[in-house]
Amino acid sequence: MLRIDWAGEEWLLLAGRGLYWPRREMLLVADTHFGKPSTFRRAGIPVPEEATDATLSRLDALLTRTGARTLVVLGDLLHAALDDEDVVWRRLADWRDTWRALAWVVVAGNHDRSAGRPPTAFDIEYHDRYFELDGIRLQHHPASLPDCAVVAGHVHPGFVLYDVGQTPMRMPCFHLQRDVLTLPAVGAFTGNGRVRPTLEDRVFVCGDDEVIELPPVERKR
């Protein structure tokens, strides 16, 4: 867990790929991509359903650790449209049952637009475009805005460090540009993109139980 001050607020970055906002008791994550394994299986590509459980246990760990009262998913909650019989609904419903007291907020992402809204039974406060709180905009796309700070997801930021002899080591990361903070994907079967920070940016890489800030670096495209 790593503390930063940004946009006039205190934040905690968690290795489990979540961002905690203590003043609001709010946990923010991005890109769960629920239903991705079943989407693949339906196309004849075997992906174990345990990938869904792994994402849910990541959320469990984050929620337990922080004691958050609100969970915000910054888009791509669902991966693709699924029928009512899909196994993933049962799992999500069970999970929701164990966290009944939790307020659950979702901001739609590009995948959600084709996947459709989750069942009302999940009791989700659903925002089609964004959600603003104390002058901080929570949305899916990491776009810079003129007069507010943005927390976003979408790009699944990752970073590659090169060890002696140019051996690459890939890892998910938080990417903080001046007024945009991009969260790593929390979904277990999602993969990483690659950020190309400038010298002004801050990059925090996630391991299994540790978040480490890297020195200022520039990675050109």
Nearer to other proteins, 148 or 161 (CB): 161
Residue 39 within binding range of other proteins, rule CB under 8 A: yes
Nearer to other proteins, 135 or 207 (CB): 207
User: Which segments within 66-196 are labelled E, that is strand?
Assistant: 70-73, 103-107, 124-127, 130-133, 136-139, 149-152, 158-163, 167-177, 180-182
> 38, 181, 10: which is closest to 1 by C-alpha?
10
Please select the residue that binds other proteins; options are 23, 84, 101, 162, rule is CB under 8 A: 162
As a whole number of angstroms, the distance between CA 104 and CA 197 comes to: 31
Residue 200 within binding range of other proteins, rule CB under 8 A: no
Residue 128 within binding range of other proteins, rule CB under 8 A: no
Residue 44 within binding range of other proteins, rule CB under 8 A: yes
Token pair 């359903």 in the structure block, residue? 49
Please select the residue that binds other proteins; options are 6, 9, 24, 41, rule is CB under 8 A: 41
Residue 84 within binding range of other proteins, rule CB under 8 A: no
Counting Cα atoms < 13 Å in the Cβ hemisphere of 91 gives: 16
As a whole number of angstroms, the distance between CA 179 and CA 198 comes to: 14
What are the residues binding other proteins (CB under 8 A)?
A: 36, 38-51, 54, 79-80, 86-87, 111, 114, 161-167, 169, 171, 188-191, 205, 207-208, 210, 212, 214-217, 220-221
